[in-house]
Every structure is written in structure tokens, then in C-alpha cells.
Structure 1
């Protein structure tokens, strides 16, 4: 049986090896399939975009609804406070300076700007005399002759 292996030193004299022809890269079936996939992808992009926009709008509306419910709950708490008689009395005292019969109202006004303006409008007091001028005027008064 002849050996299937060639010796390493053998030369190629007879038949040379040739490459087989390669098949085409894309067949007509593959081209149609790719075109169909692209057409389907393009056909689904618009509905997908609309779906995602609607999902974001729904999320925004749900958050707005939650904010409105929180505001309604806060307003309900405020309304419950105003139904309490003691709270009404406290608010009348603070906001409208309400006093009960027999009480004396006292209102403290902290108006620093008005006080500064009033101080600027007043004329300054006369400077006090120097001590030696006062002493000398008393000596002159004692030395003066009485006018009778």
C-alpha cells in the first residue's frame, strides 16, 4: 500500500494545487432577507417612538397627580386647624392684635430705620458749657451789683 504521506524532500512536478472558486458573498435570498429586516425595523421605529413618548407622558402625569394629592392633603390639614377654636383665638391675637376684655394690649414696634430717621430730624442739643466758663459766670454773678 502506497504511503499517503509524501516525503518532505519531494518536489512538485506534476499537479499543482489550485484554489476552489469561492461562492458569492450574498445570495439573492440573503439580500431579500436583509431588505425585509431593514424594512421591518423602519416600520417599527415610529410606533416605538410614539409608545416611548406616551410612557414618559404617563410618568409625568402620575408625578403631577401625586404632587396634587400631597397639596390637597396639606390643605386639608390647614383646614382642620382652622376649625379648632383655640387655633382661631391664637391667630386672632397674632394677626389682628385681638385682646380679651380686661386685657391691656401692648404692641412693640421694632423700627430701627424709623428711629434713625426721627433722630436725624431732631435738632441736636446744645453743647454743655465748659466747667471753667460756668465757674467764671458764677463769680461774675456774685460780683455784680443787685439791681433794685
Structure 2
């Protein structure tokens, strides 16, 4: 009896067909997996943006709350409402500091500096700004 070959024609054709099917499915499966990963990343980003949106909406509601406005005005601007007695507690200066250091004037408030600059601009006594076209050496 003749020995049959291990690899028959049918087996070879079946192996080629199986390889062709595996090769044709490899690219779509890889794309499917990458798209699922991309969808998961976008969902995480959407959740992060939604949380940030909720935070900003809460802050927006807080800005229009009159009680929060009054509290903030008192804390930041030292606002005192009508009929209220407000006190400012000053820190004691250390007695060991020299008298010259203690007598240095405090810088003027921002609104005073702003008003002085407006008056100087009105009178024309303010400094002239140097534009990019002018050189420093020319007048």
C-alpha cells in the first residue's frame, strides 16, 4: 500500500483559505480596538469637561448671590454697610525698630495713583511713551 502524503491538496487549500481569512480580519480588528480606545479617552475627557463646567456654573451662581457679594466686599475691600460700626485692628509696631524705619510713608492707594495719572495726562505733564518707531537716541 502506498503511503499517503502528509499534506494533501485539500489541506493546503484549507490552510491558504484560513490564512487569507485571518489576514483579511487583522486590519479591521486592529481598527476596532483603536477606535474603542479612542472612544474611552473621549468619554473620560467629556467627564472632565462636564465636571469643570459644573464647577464654573457653581461659581457663576455664587457671583450673583448677594450674601456672597457682601461677604466678599467686607473681606477684600473692607466695606462697611450703612449703620454698621467697623473697626480696623492695627498691628503694634515693634519698639526695637529705628524711628526712621517706622516713619516711612505707606505707598498711596491704587485709586489715588490712578487719579494722579489721569490729572497728569489732562495737564500734559506726564511722561511720553516711546513707540517702536522712535529710537532712544532721537528726540
Match in the other structure for 1:106: 88
CA distance in 2, matches of 1:107, 1:38: 86
CA drift at 1:35: 1.2
Unaligned runs of 5+ in 1: 1-19, 110-114, 124-148
Are 1:66 and 2:47 counterparts? yes
Residue 64 of structure 1: how far off its partner (Å)? 0.9
Partner of 1:36: 17
What's the offset of the Cα at 1:21?
A: 5.2
Question: Shift in Å at residue 22 of structure 1?
Answer: 4.2
Q: CA deviation at 1:58?
A: 0.9
Q: CA deviation at 1:97?
A: 2.1
Partner Cα distance (2:37, 2:90) in 1: 55
Q: With CA pairs under 8 Å and 6+ residues apart, which has the higher RCO, 1 or 2? A: 2
**TM-score w.r.t. structure 2 length?**
0.58
Contact 1:81 1:87 in 2 (8 A): yes
User: Does 1:122 find its partner at 2:98?
Assistant: yes
SS at match of 2:4: coil
CA drift of 1:93 comes to 1.3
Unaligned runs of 5+ in 2: 100-139
